[in-house]
Amino acid sequence: MGARKQVDAPPAEFAEAVSQLRSARFRPEVFVEEMPAPQRIAPHAAAVSADVTVDGDDVATGRLVILYDPDGNDAWQSTFRCVAYVRAAVEPEMVTDALLGGVGWTWLMEALADRGADFQAPSGTVTRVVSESFGGMADDDATAEIEIRASWSPVPGPGGLVDVTRHAEAWGEVLCTAAGLPPVPPGVVAMPTRRGQRGR
């Protein structure tokens, strides 16, 4: 039995990345919890989901998946890959702005830079969605959302280690920006993740 456990144990590099993911700190408006990770994209994967709640309303949601292939992946240019999703409600008139897609992508690039999360091979899309109601629902207001789907490869730091914490916290920052939350003032420390606290 002991030998089987040793065979099944995840690689130390991936286990450390999962530990870093769990230690990431987010704003108190962000509720983060672990979720099942996709099993067929990479040999090893971990994932979290998040909701941004303001005054009892969910204003943004997202997912972050950490993929690891010890043999490396040519498309990733790395052994690690971050895959992120962010969706947030926006004012309907914003989706007509041709610059919104570029702005959404800039949120991610700036968040990674602000956190010192070095990366390479970024890829992704920014989608604007507007929904109008008709017939029996004609009185409902139009709604609009922005969706950011992105992936990038973390660049190892000194010692050849990837700092997943920085990348996770950058994703959390994008969630809050998309939700329209003001930036945290300098010197204010983010609160620990409230995993498992919703509904209690």
Q: Tokens 């995993």 belong to which residue?
A: 195
Task: Tell me phi and psi for residue 43, to 5 degrees.
Answer: -60, -30
CA distance 6 to 51: 36
C-alpha separations of 173 from 13, 99, 130, 141 in Å: 25, 20, 24, 29
Per-residue pLDDT tens for 74-97? 999 999 999 999 999 887 667 666
- Provide the pLDDT for residue 196: 40
Report percent pLDDT > 90 for the chain.
57
The mean pLDDT of the chain is 84
Task: Tell me phi and psi for residue 24, to 5 degrees.
Answer: -60, 145
Q: Is the pLDDT of residue 200 over 70?
A: no
Higher pLDDT, 88 or 199: 88
Q: Is the pLDDT of residue 199 over 80?
A: no
- Provide the pLDDT for residue 182: 86
- Provide the pLDDT for residue 91: 75
Half-sphere exposure of 179 (CA within 13 A, CB side): 25
- Provide the pLDDT for residue 158: 77
Higher pLDDT, 120 or 6: 120
- Tell me how crowded residue 65 is: count the other CB atoms within 10 A of its CB: 21
Confidence category of residue 8, pLDDT binned at 50, 70, 90 = low
Residues 6+ apart with CB under 8 A from 13: 68, 70, 79, 161, 162
End-to-end CA distance of the chain: 38
Half-sphere exposure of 185 (CA within 13 A, CB side): 2
Q: Is the pLDDT of residue 40 over 50?
A: yes
Provide the residue ranges of all domains of the chain, joining segments of one domain with +: 12-179
Q: Is the pLDDT of residue 135 over 80?
A: no
Half-sphere exposure of 157 (CA within 13 A, CB side): 9
**Whole-model pTM?**
0.84
- Provide the pLDDT for residue 194: 45
Higher pLDDT, 156 or 14: 14
- Provide the pLDDT for residue 197: 39
Per-residue pLDDT tens for 157-183? 777 788 999 999 999 999 999 998 988
